[in-house]
Amino acid sequence: MRLSIGAMATCAGLLIAAVSLGQSVEGPETEEFAENLKGWIITNDTGDITALSVSEKKSQVVFHPQRTKDGMGPVIHSISGPDAKGRVAYVLDYFFVSTSTEERHVLKTVQLDGSGDTELFSRPGSAMWATSAAGNGEIGSHLALAPIGDRVAFISHTVSRQMPMALLTLGNIEIWDATAKSGHLIEVSALDEPMSWFPDGQHLAYATLVKRSELPLEASGLELFGTYYGKTWDEVPAIFIYDVTSKKSRFLHVGWQPVVSADGKSVLVGGYAADDFRWVRADSETGRSTPINLPGVVGAVIATVGELTCYVGLPTEGAKIELTTNNSPLRGPKEMLTIKVSDDSGKKFKTLSPSIDPRSQASFGLGTAPSGIPHSSSSASPP
């Protein structure tokens, strides 16, 4: 089967369900599955920005934050990409500094081979606690780099919204031009959730809260995702699609965490059905959706092409289970997770990356082949 994802880039912050030590997903894996998959998985789970070539199964450090011996210096706050130009967008956060006046966050881009590290802006205030009571809403937790067109989206000016059993964060969407190094707020409020660009770089899928009374009649997903752990909210999370040309948004589906497919024909949407977080594939025009099954999924979906979906999941039964390091003394070590790929039925799946820290982020894109990172020239592919 020939798979072509184009130059998709999807950022996904890891939404992790409660995972007990020793949990795994029943195998066996389908070893010959998705052999033509290619592209780049970008992570920050080692403290560096790392690129894994899916087809070559080789990784390389893209960017290493310089820290002093006593731990002072910047950390990677969020990542997205690569885009068609081979760029990764990231926010570098200066929280571990000598004085509070030095705290700042910097939006940057860098090529997959580590060259061309470029600053788009530097703003006062740390990103680490920006969405908490200790921060001032400087920036949200996620980035979305468009596959083409140079656009980077994120939220800023965040505020908290207390809902039954959940404290949410909302903010205004900002869109920046990575080449022109300029950007602006748009008059759209979004949840601090992963956003996803369509392959044309002109349309952005995002989640926001909307009053039930303002939803379209027979809104897609309302019956499945219209409650939160059995609680009915007056406002519900819903996926909208923003058009950068018309500056208008349209409703797509009730739910959270949109992930646009490589061809733009569908959008994966997550949501709470009873006590479980589930995923559906929604038609990007009609919003009609069908459930998909991702074996062992406990984290975010980071990319989808055809019926292939890359996601964060449990280790497969029998695999070596690793634990996190640099843990909080209050919570202790956590089980490392994996990045997997599955078809929509869940009957075929396998592990792409055997280890990812559940506290980190992952992204996927086709990108380009920089020097120093081998890249397959096969015609198939899928963060």
CATH of the domain at 142: 2.120.10.30
Count of structural domains, the chain: 1
**Burial (0-12, 13-18, 19+ Cβ within 10 Å), 65:** middle
Task: Flag whether 28 is in a domain.
Answer: yes
Q: What is the pLDDT of residues 224-268, one digit of tens each?
A: 888 888 889 999 999 999 999 999 999 999 999 999 999 999 999
- pLDDT score of 196: 97
Which parts of the chain register pLDDT below 50? 1-17, 369-383
Q: What is the pTM for the complete model shown?
A: 0.89
- pLDDT score of 368: 59
Query: Residue 190 belongs to what domain range?
Result: 9-365
Task: Flag whether 372 is in a domain.
Answer: no
Sheet containing 337-342: give its strands across.
297-305, 308-313, 337-342, 349-356
- pLDDT score of 280: 96
Task: Flag whether 212 is in a domain.
Answer: yes
Task: Flag whether 15 is in a domain.
Answer: yes
- pLDDT score of 372: 38
Task: Flag whether 342 is in a domain.
Answer: yes
Task: Flag whether 149 is in a domain.
Answer: yes
Task: Flag whether 180 is in a domain.
Answer: yes
- End-to-end Cα spacing for the chain: 20
Q: Which of 145, 66, 146, 50 is nearest to 373 (CA)?
A: 50
Task: Flag whether 216 is in a domain.
Answer: yes
